[in-house]
Amino acid sequence: MALVSKLPSLSSSPSSVTQLRKPNSFNTHPSNSIHYASCSSTSPFTEKHSIRRYERDNWIYKNQLDQSSTCPLPPDSDSVRDYDIVLQPPELKKLLQVLREKRERGGPGAGDGGRGPGNVFLVGTGPGDPELLTVKAMRVIQSADLLLYDRLVSDDVLNLVGDDAKLLYVGKTAGYHSRTQEEIHELLLNFAEAGATVVRLKGGDPLVFGRGGEEMDFLQQQGIQVKVIPGITAASGIAAELGIPLTHRGVANSVRFLTGHSRKGGSDPLFVAANAADPDSTLVVYMGLSTLPSLVLKLIHHGLAPDTPAAAVERGTTPQQRVVLAELKDLAEKVTSAQLASPTLIIIGKVVSLSPLWPYSAKERSILVEAK
């Protein structure tokens, strides 16, 4: 049950910064001492050069990292990605050979009776809270031979992976792709052809802004069976966490998901049509933090009221969740002031005012919600 505390107002405008802290019901596994990168963070996700990433994927750098070194390469060096990939092939080849031998013997996890290729599962892990995993996703995760995981698969979810499984980080973030999409395709194909049960772990739902459709299409063209296990997409999971109904009779009769990414980079949203500014719809923007100022201007230009309620949610459903609530015209400024970081989901529409966290008047005080 949540305890709601009223704090002194941070602003005279109807906006607030809300932090929802949740008890961690999953114990983390003890970690080995690997000091590849000194990046420490409270992020619940796998940041690009975090120590947790290299601890988790230690098998692939076996006997090749100097564990007494604090940081053999600068964490932001352009050569880090190439250095990582150069280290990986020997252990990847060993694992492929083991899986091929298992397949030939027809042992557990060997594929179709030792004869056919293995299966690939595209698994959605939800927005971060491991308790939002489906039962089917849990079963597949715990039976996998190899799991290729993205940045937005939370550490709590990865702690549920079976002891015998191998994990390989293939995440992407702005300015750093540990693997290109084509390289991910080839990894999935090679291990499936070796008879492995391969799980591709994605945050949220694999077919909602997750490029799961591209991976599925590629593998099916190569004759590999692909099974999709849906996850709770961030829009649903985070809206539920805040008590925001994405649709509501008489308030919002539709919901629209929009990517905030620009295909060419920069600060301009990929596409905002006039019909995105529908006052009777709810707009949910994924990956829209960097393009938020431009998005707000375009929505108002197309006719959306400047006082439309809006929310920006960083790391939703995790213990590190932070929320900014503001009118649309003030949202970008408040997000900048709160220094929200990626991943941040943006919800815009009258339904936001139905959240119990929404400050109903300019005099309403900011709210801190802590789970007890």
The pLDDT tens digits for 226-243 are 999 999 999 999 999 999
Residues 77, 143 share a domain:
yes
| CATH number of the domain residue 68 falls in | 3.40.1010.10
Main-chain phi, psi angles of 275, to 5 degrees: -75, -5
Residue 29, domain member (yes or no): no
Residues 274, 189 share a domain:
no
Return the exposure string of 128-163: e unless at least 16 CB atoms fall within 10 Å of the residue's CB, then b: bbbebbbeebbebbeebbbbbbbbbbbbbbbeebee
The reported pLDDT for the residue numbered 244 is 98
Residues 193, 318 share a domain:
no
Residue 337, domain member (yes or no): yes
Residue 155, domain member (yes or no): yes
Share of residues in the chain with pLDDT > 70 (%): 63
| CATH number of the domain residue 12 falls in | 3.30.950.10
Q: What is the pLDDT of residues 148-165, one digit of tens each?
A: 999 899 888 998 898 888
Residues 349, 332 share a domain:
yes
pLDDT band at 49 (very low <50, low <70, confident <90, very high): low
Residue 73 and residue 83 in contact, taking contact as beta carbons nearer than 8 Å: yes
Residues 174, 110 share a domain:
yes
Does the pLDDT at position 105 exceed 50?
A: yes
The reported pLDDT for the residue numbered 268 is 66
Angstrom distance (rounded) from CA 350 to CA 278 = 11
Reading across the β-sheet that carries 166-169, which strands appear in turn? 166-169, 146-149, 198-202, 120-124, 226-229
Residue 274, domain member (yes or no): yes
Q: What is the pTM of this model?
A: 0.75
Residues 322, 218 share a domain:
no
Catalytic residue ranges:
150, 172, 287
Q: Give every CB contact of residue 221 below 8 A, 6+ residues apart in sequence.
A: none
Structural domain count of the chain: 2
Residues 200, 286 share a domain:
no
Lowest mean pLDDT among 2-6, 49-53, 289-293: 2-6
- Domain extent for 145: 51-229
Residue 31, domain member (yes or no): no
Q: What is the pLDDT of residues 321-356, one digit of tens each?
A: 999 999 999 999 999 999 999 999 999 999 999 999
Nearest to 240 by CA among 308, 312, 317, 314: 317
Instruction: Give the mean model confidence (pLDDT) for residues 25-54.
Output: 47
Residues 18, 124 share a domain:
no
